[in-house]
Structure 1
Amino acid sequence: MNEEKIKRVLTEPKLASIKTMLEKDHAIDCLLLLYAGRGKWKDAKGFMQDNNLTLSDGTFRARMIEIESLGLAKSERIDPLKKYYTKTEQGEAVAKLLLGFFDELKQ
């Protein structure tokens, strides 16, 4: 039943946390950048600029920290201040679902 699915998304801690994260500014952008292998700020910034889009470094870092805390990414330290993020299996699954969702809207 759809009502049960809705209740699950709204009340199960993991699903509710992912829903909350997706509602934030540039969260979907960051998940898709991660899926595309652009988990380093310089690469993400370049991709966004190439497509006439904007994303601040602070927003990128905040979303990536949140994405990592949900288990959708893992990070490796580049230097004391910078990290490189890569998608986890669950992060890849979420990104594929989002891409499928947007494909369906296109039709």
Structure 2
Amino acid sequence: MDTPVTVPAPACSKIRLGSLARNNPPRHRFTVMQPATEIHLVRVTTDDGEVQIWLAATSREEAVDRVLEEIPEGWAVSLIQRQLATEHIPALNMAAGEVRRHLVS
């Protein structure tokens, strides 16, 4: 699950602040994404027969359902049995829960 983190504004700001703002410095909020620990490969076949590979940084049980949420209705999906090697996961730079089409370069 995403963990919200609050970080104080930089101290080097050149903006003059009123007394209220000086006592309550602005805070920037951002979400820290947890890196994926497992990624599953899902084969997608479009209506015109094109085969795509999608990556799901989810549990194996959730992978097909999460890809189905992202693609048009009527496309076929199947979980690829081959496991992605653990050492390749960091190179994909995916956050836990992320789903995306794999584009071969």
TM-score, normalised with respect to structure 1: 0.29
Higher RCO, Cα 8 Å, sep 6+: 2
From the two aligned structures, give the one with the greater helix fraction.
Answer: 1
From the two aligned structures, give the one with the greater strand fraction.
Answer: 2
TM-score, normalised with respect to structure 2: 0.29
